[in-house]
Structure 1
Amino acid sequence: MSLDGTYDAGNIFAKILRGEMPAARVFEDEHVYAFMDVFPQSRGHTLVIPKHSTARNLLDEEPERLATLIQGVQRVTKAVRAALKPDGIVVTQFNGAPAGQTIYHLHFHIIPRWEGVPVGRHASGGMADAEELKALAAQIAAKIS
C-alpha cells in the first residue's frame, strides 16, 4: 500500500479501540492507547496509537494530535524502561508498505533491546502467548507515572 489512501475503519487497531478485538492494554488516556504487540520483536514490544484519529501514517496527522501522541509515547517508553530495565530502546514509526508499515493506523513501536540479544523480525516468532503479554502489560503499567 502506498503512502496515500483512504483510512480503513476496519483495521485491527480501530477494532481494538472500539473493543471489537482484544489487546493487552498497558496505558490509556483521552488521547492515546498503548498495548502489547502480539507479534513482538523483543520482550516488552509495545505499541502506542492515537485514540481519535483517522491518520494512516505520520504524514496524515494533525500537528496538535502528534504533540499529545508523542507525549504518550514518551510516557510509555519511560515505563517500559523502568519495568524491564533494557540496555536500549528503539522507538520507531513506519510510513507506507516499502517502509515496513502493515497496519494503516498511525502507530509507534517501543522495542526494548538488551546487549547481545538480537531483535526478531516482526511476526517471525509467531504470535506471543496472551497470558505472558498480559503479565508484561501489567508490569509496564505499574511503572506509568
Structure 2
Amino acid sequence: MPIDPTLAYDHSNIFARILRGEIPAKKVYEDDFALAFHDIAPQAPVHVLVIPKGAYVSWDDFSAHAPAEEIAGFIRAVGHVAREQGLVAPGYRLLANVGMDGGQEVPHLHVHLFGGKPLGRMIAA
C-alpha cells in the first residue's frame, strides 16, 4: 500500500531493518552514505535498490534535511552501482516512487536501478 511521504520516519520499515542487519539482503555495494542490494522481486534482469543510510522518507525529506556531503555521497553511490553493474553503455532506468500517487510502498527513500534489457517507454501513453 502506498505511503504518505509527509509522515515521520518509521524506524521499523524494512529498509531500516536491512540497514541494521536484522533482515538479510544480497548486497552489491556499501559505503558511508548508501547501501545497494538486489530487489527480492526483480522487474528486469538487473534490479538493484540503492538506499541512503540516513533516515529519510522521500526525495523531498532528503533534499530538505540531508547535509550536502550525504546528498553527494548518495548520488555518487547510485552512479557507482550503475557502472559496477555494467549498465552505463547500454543504458538503464532510475525510478524513485514518492508518496501515494507515486506508488511509494516503503517509507525510506530508495532508488530502483533497472537494466539488462531494453526497457521500453517509461509510462504508457
Same fold (TM over 0.5): yes
Deviation at 1:86, TM superposition (A): 7.5
State which of 25, 28, 47 in structure 2 corresponds to 1:26: 28
Q: Tell me the residue number matched to 1:88.
A: 91
Q: Tell me the residue number matched to 1:99.
A: 102
Deviation at 1:44, TM superposition (A): 1.6
- Contact 1:42–1:111, Cα closer than 8 Å, also in 2: yes
Q: Tell me the residue number matched to 2:112.
A: 109
| The structure with more helix, counted as a fraction of residues | 1
CA distance in 1: counterparts of 2:104 and 2:42, whole angstroms: 15
| Aligned counterparts, 1:48-87, within 5 A | 48-51=50-53, 53-61=54-62, 62=66, 64=68, 65-81=70-86, 87=90
CA deviation digits over 1:82-131, x for unaligned, max 9? 6xx8832001211112102111101111100413x779xxxxxxxxxxxx
Deviation at 1:67, TM superposition (A): 1.5
Identity of counterpart residues, as a percentage? 36
What's the secondary structure of 1:81's corresponding residue?
coil
Aligned length: 115
CA distance in 2: counterparts of 1:39 and 1:97, whole angstroms: 20
State which of 8, 16, 19 in structure 1 corresponds to 2:18: 16
- Contact 2:29–2:36, Cα closer than 8 Å, also in 1: yes
CA distance in 2: counterparts of 1:74 and 1:87, whole angstroms: 14
Q: Please identify runs of 4+ aligned residues in structure 1 that moved more than 3 A.
A: none
> Aligned AA for 2:75?
I
Q: What TM-score results when the alignment is normalised by the length of structure 2?
A: 0.83
- Please, which runs of 5 or more residues in structure 1 have no aligned partner? 120-145
Taking a change above 3 Å as real, the CA distance of residues 38 and 102 of structure 1, as seen in their structure-2 partners, is: same
- Contact 1:7–1:54, Cα closer than 8 Å, also in 2: yes
- Contact 1:89–1:111, Cα closer than 8 Å, also in 2: yes
- Contact 2:96–2:111, Cα closer than 8 Å, also in 1: yes
